[in-house]
Amino acid sequence: MNLASDMEARAIEGPERVGLIYQDGREYTYRQMNEASCAIANYLKSQGVGPGDRVGVYMQNTPTFLFTIFGIWKTGGVLVPVNIMYQAEELIHAFSSTHVTTVITDTNGLERILAIRDTLKAIMVSGCTKIPEDQGIIDFDRQVSAHRQEFETFVPGEEDVAAILFTGGTTGAPKAVITNHHGWYKALCDLAGGHTGSGAMHPMADTRIPPNMVAMPLFHGGGQQSMLFAYHIGRAVLLLERFKVANYLSLAKQYNVRSLVLMPTMIHDIVNYDGPVDLSHVKTVTSIGQELRPLLRTQFEEKFNIPILLNYGSTEVGHVAGWGVKDLKNGLWKPGSVGRLYPGVVLEIRGEQGTPMPAGEIGEIYVRSKVTTKGYAGNAEESKSLLHDGWVCTGDMGRLDADGVLFINGRKREMIKCGGFQVWPLEIEKVLMKHPKISDVAVIGVPDDRLGEIPKAFIILKAKVSPKYSEDLKKEIINYCRDNLAHFKAIRAIAFVTAFPRADTGKILKDQLKRQSITE
């Protein structure tokens, strides 16, 4: 199943229904969307793009970006979307590791793409009034406008690649995850089944149903999945160029959006927004992309009286577990969990010897499904460590209870061995976040001559503390930790900071904190 098929089906089912609304008010019917994507596919095909050929896209969220995604998939080409914040060296690495020589960009990215022009064969530019008159630089919009608006879409096989997506990893260079059409379409079906009870493509929604809001970038797997999910369940898409709190809240209210999909960093920004916030029209919020801190979740739910649903998964394995609205209604939700496994997902909790663990025991999470990636592009060693006989080794530690509900304990590589005991930073962080003077915290393990490693907390305080009282406050926090955790889990060192180093997805870069500790 080609990932463009749901959009194409809507163009047949309701050609004059609005399928895309951009933040500036522009609206596109499904017919217009499909025709624009067909014209792009015809142009790309005229330039030699066919099944398996990789096309880079370096753009902000725009209607053209969305049409280009479908246009590439129609040809059978491989979409390689790249973070619009990448600079020259990051771009060179991204394109060279994925063997991209043709890039489509816009006015936001043109200057940075021109800086690496010697590494590319063709640069296609959209939305730019003045295109540099240089060889290899093409006016994408003008070329596309001259092509037919009909196209015979490529029918992919089981292994045909749809996209190569860069993960927002917390260490090293981002990894290029290979995803295929059948796997990602299966992920859509699994997600729909978990939320609505049916994985099959839904009938087109009633015109009174609000659109689904997509504020995550389309170069991100979460942004693409949110967009595709909307079309799978028959909803229109309300697309934002980027997430800005005031604009996001205004558009959500204007279009009466009922369900929000947000990353924890977005939830944090809404909770701490100093302007008026009206979310009375919102029924649920789904948090994706990274671990949602318990205190932040509580702050949001208590402030707005809206439940937050969690969705655990990754680009490598798709959607693994989560809670749906029906679960809340049926009283199945369990505090502290990420949810029940989605249909079609097989999960094992394995011990240090690689053997499955019984219910309730903590171990490493292995996942197998039709969504499972074939590995990382241009990185055979990382691919080898990721895949084990068809299973993806997630690197996350967790447990399944007797009801098959999944709980996450943290990343395997973040586990601290303190005096022979296993200590999980997430458990310590949850306790410290309840301290009245702490705004945010990140715990890492640092070397210790006697115990091997000890837990150290990097803490952002709610209010600045005078250096005179800094040591007293550290002692207070350490004692607080000892009062609420086993002694071997208690932090033994503290650093007060004003911010954490973060990846572009918002994840805290704990390796940088470790390096910072070594140099202190």
pLDDT (tens digit, 9 = 90+) per residue, 66-121?
999 999 999 999 999 999 988 888 899 899 999 999 999 999 999 999 999 999 99
What residues pair up with 410 in beta bridges, in sequence order?
Answer: 397
Residues 107 and 114: their CA atoms lie apart, in Å, by 11
Cα angle vertex 262, ends 213, 403, to 5°? 115
With contact defined as beta carbons under 8 Å apart, do 175 and 204 qualify? no
Over residues 470-482, mean pLDDT: 94
- Choose between 130 and 11: higher pLDDT: 11
Q: Tokens at residue 499, please?
A: 């911010």
Q: Which helix (H) or strand (E) holds 416?
A: strand 416-418
pLDDT tens-digit map of 175-188: 788 899 998 898 88
pLDDT band per the 50, 70, 90 thresholds, residue 43: very high
Torsion angles phi and psi, residue 277, rounded to 5: -130, 115
The crossing angle, in degrees rounded to 10, of helices 181-196 and 221-232 is 60
With contact defined as beta carbons under 8 Å apart, do 144 and 43 qualify? yes
Residues 184 and 370: their CA atoms lie apart, in Å, by 8
- Mean pLDDT score across all residues of the chain: 89
pLDDT band per the 50, 70, 90 thresholds, residue 372: low
Lookup result for tokens 């009922």: 258
> Domains (ranges, CATH) in the chain?
31-177 (3.40.50.980), 415-519 (3.30.300.30)
Over residues 491-514, mean pLDDT: 84
> Does 410 score more than 60 pLDDT?
yes
For 62, 261, 498, the CA distances from 214, given in Å and listed in that order, are 11, 8, 31
Q: Which helix (H) or strand (E) holds 364?
A: strand 363-368
Residues 134 and 435: their CA atoms lie apart, in Å, by 60
Taken in order 482, 362, 192, 221, is the CA torsion positive or negative? positive
Q: CB 208: neighbour CB atoms within 10 A? A: 6
Residues 6 or more apart whose CB falls under 8 angstroms from that of 191 comprise: 225, 229, 311, 319, 322, 342
pLDDT attached to residue 171: 43
pLDDT attached to residue 170: 42
Short-list 337, 478, 9, 487, CA closest to 202: 9
